[in-house]
A and B are shown apart, each in its own frame.
Chain A
Amino acid sequence: MTQSNRISGGQIDRGQTLRFTFDGQGFTGHPGDTLASALLANGVRLMGRSFKYHRPRGPLTAGSEEPNALVELRSGARREPNTRATVAELFDGLEATSQNRWPSLRFDAMAVNDRLSSFFAAGFYYKTFMWPRSFWEKLYEPIIRRAAGLGSVSREEDPDLYDKGFLHCDLLVIGAGPAGLMAALTAGRAGARVILADEDFRMGGRLNAETFTIGQVAGADWAAGVVTELATMPNVRLMPRTTVIGAFDHGIHGAVERLGDHLAEPAAGKPRQILWRIYARRSVLAGGATERPIAFENNDRPGIMLAGAMRAYANRWAVTAGQRVAVFTNNDDGLRTAADLRAKGVDLVEVIDSRKGDMIVDSRGRLGLKSVTVQDSKGQRRDITVDALAVSGGWNPNVNLYSHHRARPVWDDTIVAFVPGADGPPGLTVAGAAAGVLSTHGALRTGRDAAIAALGLTGAAPDLPEAEDATPRITPLWHVPQGKGRAWIDQQNDVTVKDVKLAAQENFISVEHLKRYTTLGMATDQGKTGNVLGLAVMAELTGRSIPQTGTTIYRPPYTPVAMGTLAGRSRGAEFKPVRMTPSHHWAREQCAVFVEVGNWLRTQWVPKDGETEWRQSVDREVLATRRSVGICDVTTLGKIDIQGTDAGAFLDRVYANTFSTLKVGKCRYGLMLREDGLVYDDGTTARLAEHEYVMTTTTANAVGVFRHLEFCRQCLWPDMDVQLISTTEAWAQFSVAGPNARNLLEKIVDQDISDAAFPYMGAGNVTVCGGLRARLFRISFSGELAFEIAVPTRYGDALLREMLARGAEYDPVVYGTEALGVMRVEKGHVAGGELNGQSTALNMGLGKMVSQKKDSIGRVLSTREGLTDPEGYRLVGVRPVDPAARLTAGSHFLDIGAAAVAANDAGWLTSKVYSPHIGSDIALGYLKAGAGRIGQRMRAVNLLAGQDTEVEIVSPHFFDPEGERLRG
């Protein structure tokens, strides 16, 4: 097909031809084209179907405010629905497809909705699908969901990369039209750090779409000259293809830069889009204005577009929207379209100026405009044959970002539009058409002045070149008084004047109700072309002024943002950072199985050849540890060094039990409460010197406990002499447990670690392997004779390999978190399932640890009524009466014969493991009055798992209750 509607001039590169397809048909265009301009050049004006009525639609605009020309771009995994053809930059090989139609764009079966439109008026959901109630979920909603929506997603993983970035500047200029360019030039020449962002791929704004001159040159050339100068300034960053999507608190702006959308695929290794967070000391909003239509019957046909857009297609893209064109306007700006088209040699048939009493009352043409009906001031009607109509109802300043902090624009009767008021985001100044200053001279002047004011510039500012300074002249006409047909206000959501009338009749007259009842402005274009028009129609219908009727404000984002852009690199394996333990590389060599614990990857178990099921590995690790010796990486536990003359007294306040009396060289189990009296965390803390302790925390609470201790130190007791530092990542720490633990470590540690020299609960600084500094703690989580040994993190991997090599005669096993869990349950130690944030020391059987001899965090409220109920939950052990029966954590305790209802619930199983030592499942649990029920039989019931198992309540200390092994 030839580019039959291509005319002379324009900012396209005719030296190059680009090939593209639309619904499978091949077309050509040129660099500089958008998909919409190229299709129009080829005589294609039907580009989509409307949301609700499936009306045939063509582009209404030439920019990001487009409600109609939404298409799918590309294919396969890169298929992207709901893309505005008016801003999609043409590239060679672009595949575009129409959407929301079946089977084809020209014949759409769903267009039957248009005939049934009386059933689909505003509020039809609420009225039509009321009953029977059961039909909603099964029938109505699935049907509506299938019929609604526009494009469809690919359902394949997006192959492209998206990134996030951070920028800082003195002045962010949003929009690179005459106002924005002048602001950037003024600030840039003054040496300020400037970012100039514009959503378009070519900077210049309306100057590219108009025939104005600035000084002695064409406006587009002046813009290109300024951009060239700005590009030479090291303090200025030009960001074309970048939409500032929101103005947030404290000068933070969100922006989406499209680096690869205009390419068939992004350059290798480069992101397709970047979500920028721009920190701006000041900002100038120079986002221009958006033209609005006039509502008349059947004003939505392909070929009817906004006058400024039609002018832009002619001047910038050298495209005429049709062969016989008319203009319908209520203001002087519409006349420019007529003049520019005539100058381009287009057959401009007629100008219908409503200010002279003429109006367009109807149009015809099923898939594209064929004629319009004009009614003159005497009421005479006649049809004129045209294939394109330009409509101008005036211009609305783009106040969107100004109102992102909920500032309300004010009504301006001179330009008949909302303009920014005084209370916009701090630091943001509005200039040019966005401020309601619609002349080119005004844009240049206010742009320059905004930069001067924002930065407090005192030096010479750039001279203002000569430019048109016409006073906007407009006489409001919102909608042509109606007959029977429908006149569109919001074309994307198919909201008509009739819908607004219906809302008014049913008293949904507040702006917020109007919006929600009719869905006006709730489509992806956020009502950029329709909102003010809808508001004005409501004002007329209710006999109020527009300011009395209300204002519309906008929320971020300015234009739709893809989910992938918001996600950035945080997807798949890169969703969050991974912390690797010092033994990670060794474990990977052994094909260990890992488990995520917060951001940590911990070894869960280490399978040996021939082991096909996880239990085989875990049972082996447990038995080998209890038989000889096992090693476990416990680096993930939090470690906090606590120093100062008040360190002991400080610990007495943050722990429920006492630490100031702990002897140097010893460690002690500590229980930490929250102020509400519930248990927060536990761990062992060692006293390494008179004024030096090292605390360990659970893995889960490592960060939180440190924060809490800093709160206590800084906010509660700032007079105490105590200093804290987190050393979690400074030390690699291994548990070495089992009867041969000491024998193995004697081959590693340089000092005497006999029971006499290093007794149970001993702690201290040692050296290993001939001089490397280390810390040794004789503590046990497994119930075995055990040590924990710590070396600087970088030696962790070497220490593990050295322990395995030097201790080979003891056949040491490396065990993971599963075996760790089995052994701690066998020993009755509390962990995650019991430290659930809802339990007290009393619940855990540790009530005596809460010292009443001193004040500490949580002491007072740990004694409150309700937490001290003697019949309350107590930690117990659980065994199935039949050793072959299975238990499940989360199962509830019930008396024998009691019905499985909440009223009979006596508690629950908190942790469950298989104990190879006992030869059955065992569990810990919280049981009401549990201490007095040892030896009794109950049931563990789990209705979800279909389990009802008879169990025996036992002591939680399944293994070596006297603790003989760990003191060995």
Chain B
Amino acid sequence: MTLVCEGAGVRIGAKQLLAAASVQLRPGRVTAILGPNGAGKSTLLSLLSGQRQPTEGRVLLEGRPLQAHGAAALALRRAVMPQESSVAFDFTAREIVALGRFPHRRTPSADEDAIVAEAMALTDVAALAPRILNTLSGGEKARVHLARALAQIWHPPADGAERWLLLDEPTAALDLAHQHAAMRLLREWAARGVGVVAVLHDLNLARRYADEAIVLGATTGLRQGPVAEVLQPALIEEVWSMPCEQVERADGTVQYLFG
């Protein structure tokens, strides 16, 4: 029971956005999608979310093509945090998070308001609730959108379907403390059975918080596996063209040093 790409690739005209990729993702794990700019990370994520359809190969969720699930049914159990998004009009942060509950409008929980409030507390934006979203800083907006994604898949679906949380560079705009807080939050959600897939740029964050890594390199092709096995300094040097050294701290955590 997984989210699977079988030789899924995207080509628009002569431009290959993503070469045929085969990956298997399982719920209950944090998977980091890594690679240099333009490697196709966001394209892979958009295939997994169903935003984009592959021009070759296919994407399956629990054995069925993603599109066959239907947009409304998918929205009940798959949330996507965008890399950047512009919101029209002066919606407050709270209203934006409440939009995460839109897919559930016909079968609302008894605690819709509490879900929104708790999701905002989880990403530390409760105090921003009455503020206009477009007046917030980039990092604050990102945390509001993360809260919206969490609110969208707050409860496990009644039919026992897997929940998926897909994030495009969720930590890019966050300060150091919020980066780690967000990654810890994603780990907690994975521990509760949610499949978490995040495009990341920070290899140290990936190493510390992800279970699996998918590396998209121009010369290496796609590599997928447990994060400690895939993220070897030799591969990092080849994919990112940066000298890389791996150091182990006293508590056993591994950090990469570059340059």
Q: Are A and B interaction partners?
A: no
